[in-house]
Structure 1
Amino acid sequence: MEVKTISASDTWQIRHEVMWPDQPFEFVKLEEDNLGIHFGVFEEDKLVSIVSCFMEEKEMQFRKLATLEDYQGKGIASHLLKYILEFAKEKGVEKVWCNARTNKKSFYEKFGMIDTFKSFVKSGQEFTIMEILIT
């Protein structure tokens, strides 16, 4: 399992396939993608998990954490999340946050992320904002 920096366009296929398969492909492209740092996990040279990070001053938001279905449940997303939390710490980030799908909240809590109880719905999907302070 190897984590590498990838281009925004490298994330789109997995975003679409895993997160929004019922939406048009263009739906997964973010306006701010060119401002982000994108990471991918490779298994035997195959991109299997992705995340996009956006830093602003001392905060970092991560978005679109997704793992191909055949590779889920193997600790890959956990490895990637630990990687970006360490990356944030190295960059002097003080807070990391994400818009988590409500049904995935317990996954983020395992890493010390706390539900802010600020929630919203996007395209029929419920989200809550989760955050962690980096020390």
Structure 2
Amino acid sequence: MTVPHPQPTDFEIRRIPYLLTYPLRTAILWPNHPSEVPLAADPTGLHYGLFLASDSSTPVSVISLFIESPPASDFTPQQQSKGKIARFRKFATAAEIQGKGYGGALLSHVFEDAKRNERITGVWCTARVNQVGFYEKRGMSVVEGSESDQKGVKHVRMVMEL
């Protein structure tokens, strides 16, 4: 069964204060490890929320973007010389709307905004292994040999030029 993509009139995406990301980060990403939710860099990051038209005060998907260089081997020097590289982190979508296209819409918006308004030319993340397919569908690639473990959750680094 094909899930219909959300229509732009169903939701709004906007930049939000970082504290507004914490409830979803906790509930979806680290319910048993709330100390993993706040990041020291949160005050300097760009934070985005996707809000359904039915509730413009509570985000149902959140993501944070930071100007942060990846390990040197992830992008070639030529790629890095083209412009700023950003890392997105703490991407979470409410369980009841996962698989319906809202998270993908938010990620696409963030990539476009980063490229257009922040002059970002490449992005990277540390993705949970069970989410690799989601990111590959959107053009990202796994960095060979980048596997890691965080609190028992397997991760890999992924990259993409914008």
TM class, shorter-chain normalised? Answer: over 0.9
Aligned partner (choices 32, 36, 39) of residue 48 of structure 2:
39
More strand by share: 1
Q: Aligned-pair distance for 1:35?
A: 1.0
Gaps of 5+ in 2: 1-10, 69-82
SS in 2 for 1:82: helix
Aligned partner (choices 66, 69, 72) of residue 92 of structure 2:
66
RMSD of equivalent CA atoms = 1.1
Q: Aligned-pair distance for 1:128?
A: 0.4
1:54 aligns with 2:81: no
Q: Aligned-pair distance for 1:47?
A: 1.2
1:126 aligns with 2:154: yes
TM-score by length of 2: 0.79
- Contact 1:88/1:96 (CA < 8 Å) preserved in 2? no
Aligned partner (choices 136, 140, 143) of residue 116 of structure 1:
143
- Please list every run of at least 4 consecutive aligned residues from structure 1 whose deviation after the TM superposition is greater than 2 angstroms: none
Aligned partner (choices 15, 30, 36) of residue 20 of structure 1:
30
2:142 maps to amino acid: D
Q: Count residues with an aligned counterpart.
A: 133
- Larger C-alpha radius of gyration, 1 or 2? 2
- Distance between the aligned counterparts of 2:66 and 2:161, measured in 1? 16
Residue number in structure 2 paired with 1:92: 119
Gaps of 5+ in 1: none
* Per-residue Cα deviation, 1:51-95 (whole angstroms, up to 9, x for no partner): 000014600100011101111111010000100110121122121
- Distance between the aligned counterparts of 2:67 and 2:36, measured in 1? 22
